[in-house]
Structure 1
Amino acid sequence: MDEANMSQTAVAADRDLLDIIFGPATERQTYLNLLYLLLSFPLGIAYFVFLTTGLSLGTGLLVVFVGVPILIGVLFACLGLGAFERRMASSMLHLSIPSPPVLVSGPGLSAKLKALFGDATTWKSFFYLLLKFPFGVAVFVVLVTAFSVSLALILAPLTYSTLSMDFGLWRVDSKDEATIWCLIGVVLLLVSFHLVNGLAFVWGRFAQMMLGPDHATGN
């Protein structure tokens, strides 16, 4: 390999490294991932309230048989909400999540209920919606903390003289110290963007597993 080719290879390697480090901060998909993750918080709360209220009400009213249609309605709602989550994950995370096969049942109400309760999609959707709550809370806390701290550090050169900035035993009381913390904030911000993509990747794969068809059983 001559010197020119070696130089081009080195430049390409440097560009690849820079793209790996700074790419997430400039990619549109990162911000779609961030929006999706932040929406998990209010959606997770809504799903949790709906499921716990529906299950509690339905179970409590079983003795007067009113609870049966309530519980059935909750399960049907899980299928609809699961379809909504599948479309949202597909569009925002750019994932391929095929729809599970439509419930097949014989004629009559009992056959339809048997198909509803016996179909894996029903229960996978139920547990997905239930787990969205702890995931949404955890992700919201982690991301809000990460980005808030990052931005606070980046703004340190502008705010250290008017706001008290203490980091453990280290008090920022000079411009040089504020500049150091600003650089740390930039690094933390880049790490936060990588964290966004990592969390979106993990939850996206979970969504594919829970909301897509079961390849093992064809369901």
Structure 2
Amino acid sequence: MALRPLDVLRSPAYLLASFPLGVAYFAFVVGAASAGVSLLVFVVGVFVLAGGVAVARRLAVADARLAARLYDTPVPDLASPCVDGGLLATARAELLCPDSYRATGYLLTRFAVGVAGFAAVVTWLATAAALLATPLVYDRPDVSVGVAGAWTVDTLPMALGAACVGLAVAVAGAVAVAAAGRAAAVASVRLLAPAR
């Protein structure tokens, strides 16, 4: 899996966007499952669950298609179950379709990827920015730069050293985030690929 120069720009955007999308997917899956299970007593729950897995399959394919387009990877496709029959037969086919559950699992993993990706990108950017800005703020009396109790930046050479560390963090973080974003996109395509 080779990194490309544009991955440095794509990956932070992909990982940051994964957070709200992952939260929305998680809320949808949990909401559909809880509504469907609680309504099973009235038989309506079967149709709610079937509709939930059908929508989950379409959401997963659309999400993976965006990642595939962003990183130029193969586009996954999940087959819809073929049904000749009424509403109950369609609901049964949806609930027995393995691709529906793979898609539901995919949406739940997108939540985990979104949380981890968001945390990684924000931590990387905040740390690099803070260290790079050290020479601008180290001598201000209302700002304390350093690690409490361990070391304090109070001279220009120390501030420039912190800025150099910030530059290294920025570059290393860019490479790590680019690799993480591409790996997450490729893994999503593989997760939805048909079982062989």
Q: Which moved more, 1:94-103 or 1:41-50?
A: 94-103
Secondary structure of 1:135's counterpart equals helix
Alignment map for 1:20-99 (pairs within 5 Å): 27-99=5-77
Q: Deviations over 1:156-212 (max 9, x none)?
A: 111111221122511000110000010001001111111112211321232122223
Are the aligned partners of 2:61 and 2:76 in contact in 1 as well (CA < 8 Å)?
Answer: no
CA distance in 2, matches of 1:66, 1:103: 20
Residue in structure 1 matched with residue 159 of structure 2 by the alignment: 178
Residue in structure 2 matched with residue 5 of structure 1 by the alignment: none
Residue in structure 2 matched with residue 116 of structure 1 by the alignment: 94
Are the aligned partners of 2:134 and 2:160 in contact in 1 as well (CA < 8 Å)?
Answer: yes
CA distance in 1, matches of 2:90, 2:47: 13
Secondary structure of 1:105's counterpart equals coil
Secondary structure of 2:74's counterpart equals coil
Residue in structure 1 matched with residue 192 of structure 2 by the alignment: 211
Residue in structure 1 matched with residue 129 of structure 2 by the alignment: 151
Deviation of the 1:120 alpha carbon: 2.4
Q: Tell me: CA distance 1:150–1:173, structure 2 relative to 1, closer, same or farther (3 Å).
A: same
Gaps of 5+ in 1: 1-19
Gaps of 5+ in 2: none
Q: Which amino acid aligns with 1:184?
A: V
- May I ask how many residue pairs the two structures share in their alignment? 192
Secondary structure of 2:83's counterpart equals coil
Are the aligned partners of 1:33 and 1:93 in contact in 2 as well (CA < 8 Å)?
Answer: no
Query: Percent identity of the aligned residues?
Result: 28
Find the partner of 1:135 among 101, 113, 122.
113
Q: Deviations over 1:74-106 (max 9, x none)?
A: 111101101211211111122112423443334
Larger Rg: 1 or 2?
Answer: 1
Q: Which amino acid aligns with 1:93?
A: Y
Q: Deviations over 1:19-51 (max 9, x none)?
A: x9xx97xx3332112111111100111111111
CA distance in 1, matches of 2:194, 2:7: 25
Deviation of the 1:110 alpha carbon: 4.7
Q: Which moved more, 1:190-199 or 1:102-111?
A: 102-111
CA distance in 2, matches of 1:96, 1:51: 26
Secondary structure of 1:173's counterpart equals coil
> Alpha carbon RMSD of aligned pairs, Å?
2.0
Secondary structure of 2:127's counterpart equals helix
Q: TM-score, normalised by structure 1?
A: 0.80
